[in-house]
Structure 1
Amino acid sequence: MSPENLTLRIDALKTLVRQHEEMLNHAHHRIDDLETQLTIPKLMTPRQLCEFLQISEGQFYAWKRAGDSPPAIYWSERTVRYDLDAVMAWAKSKEVGQA
C-alpha cells in the first residue's frame, strides 16, 4: 500500500472515530436527560425543590420572602407544589453571561 493510500485510510479512520465519539456524547446527554426525567417529579414539594436546586431550605425561604422564588401552585394554604417547567423557566431567567 502506498503512503498516500495509507494516509487516506488513516484520515478516514480518524473521521469515523470522531463521528463515533460525537454520537456517544449525544447518547450520553440523552441518557442524562431521560434519567433526570425519571427522578425529578413534575410537581415538587418545597423540600424536593430545594434538593433539585441544590440549596438549603433556609436559602429558599429567604428568596421566597424577598419575592424571588419560582412560581408556586397552592392547592391549600399548606399544600404547595412547584411545576418543573416553571422552575426551569424561572432558573433560566436567572442566567447571567455565558459559561
Structure 2
Amino acid sequence: MPGIDIQYLMRQAKKMEQAMEQAREKLGELSVDAESGGGLVKVKMDGRHMVQRIELDPKAIDPNDKGLLEDLIAAAINAASEKASAAANESMNKATGGLKMPLQF
C-alpha cells in the first residue's frame, strides 16, 4: 500500500509495547484500600490484585458467627479488587494513550 511507512508503524508498536511493560511493572507499586462492614474489615491490595494486608476490627471476631466474618472478608477483598482493576485500567490507558489493551499480570 503506497503511503504507509511500515518501519514507522513498527517503531510505534515497539514504543507502545515498552510503555505497556513499564505500566505493568508500576502496577505492583499501585495501592488501593477497601473495607466492609462499616470498617470492621479493611483490605489493602496492589494493582496486580495481590492482597498486601487485611485488618480485622476486634468487634468483627465473634466465635459464634464465623460466617459473618468470612462474608465481610470476601466483600472487602472484592471491593479492593474492583478498585485495583479500575486503577490498573486507568494506568494502562495512560500508557497506551487510551487504546484498549488486555491487562496481563
TM exceeds 0.5? no
Higher percent of residues as strand: 2
- What range is the shorter-chain TM-score in? 0.3 to 0.5
Give the TM-score normalised by structure 1.
Answer: 0.35
Higher percent of residues as helix: 1
Give the TM-score normalised by structure 2.
Answer: 0.33
